Amino acid sequence: MKKIIFFLVFIVIMLKVNSQETIDYIKIKKSINGISCMNANQTNVDSTFANLLKLDTNKIKNGLEEYYYDLAMMYFFKVAYCEEKLEEFGNEAIKYNIRCINLNKKNSAAYNNLALVYLHKNQNDKAKEILILYKKYTKRKYWDKSLIEQIEESK
């Protein structure tokens, strides 16, 4: 009888663990990330950053690539508002852009941002390496010509 009770308790626990809430980041993205290029200010960045960090990535079942991309962008925006933390926030932006790229090798926006972070950190050789991948995975008509020019002219 004890074995049967133990077995039933075990099954109930396993069902509860397996039925834990999952997150569809694509569905909640707009409620979490209120940033666009037009409204990026320190308050919006800090708010979005805090919202992103509250999410448990182990529970994200849809949209993990976009989550990493958004988090990388927030770290990069934070560099703009806190230049003295360029090294720390820049490294985090690099880390999350790379995680995004690892999920989708063709994510041209992540390559763009990664190249921009390296350029901002004066790691011009790395920026040039990433620029090659950016050009490979981005249709020519969508190229960020200003970024390309800045990287190609960097020493």
Report the CATH number at residue 119.
Answer: 1.25.40.10
Q: Is residue 4 part of a domain?
A: no
Q: Is residue 50 part of a domain?
A: yes
101 and 111 in contact (C-beta within 8 Å)?
yes
**Is the pLDDT at 1 greater than 70, yes or no?**
no
pTM for the model stands at 0.82
At 15, the pLDDT band (50, 70, 90 cuts) reads very low
3-state SS, the chain, equals CHHHHHHHHHHHHHHHHHCCCCEEHHHHHHHHCCCCCCCCCHHHHHHHHHHHHHCCHHHEEECHHHHHHHHHHHHHHHHHHCHHHHHHHHHHHHHHHHHHHHHCCCCHHHHHHHHHHHHHCCCHHHHHHHHHHHHHHCCHHHCCHHHHHHHHHCC
Q: Is residue 10 part of a domain?
A: no
pLDDT digits (tens, 9 = 90+) for 57-104: 999 999 999 999 999 999 999 888 887 888 899 999 999 999 999 999
Cα-trace Rg, the chain: 20
Q: Which residue has the higher pLDDT, 96 or 5?
A: 96
Structural domain harbouring 95: 22-153
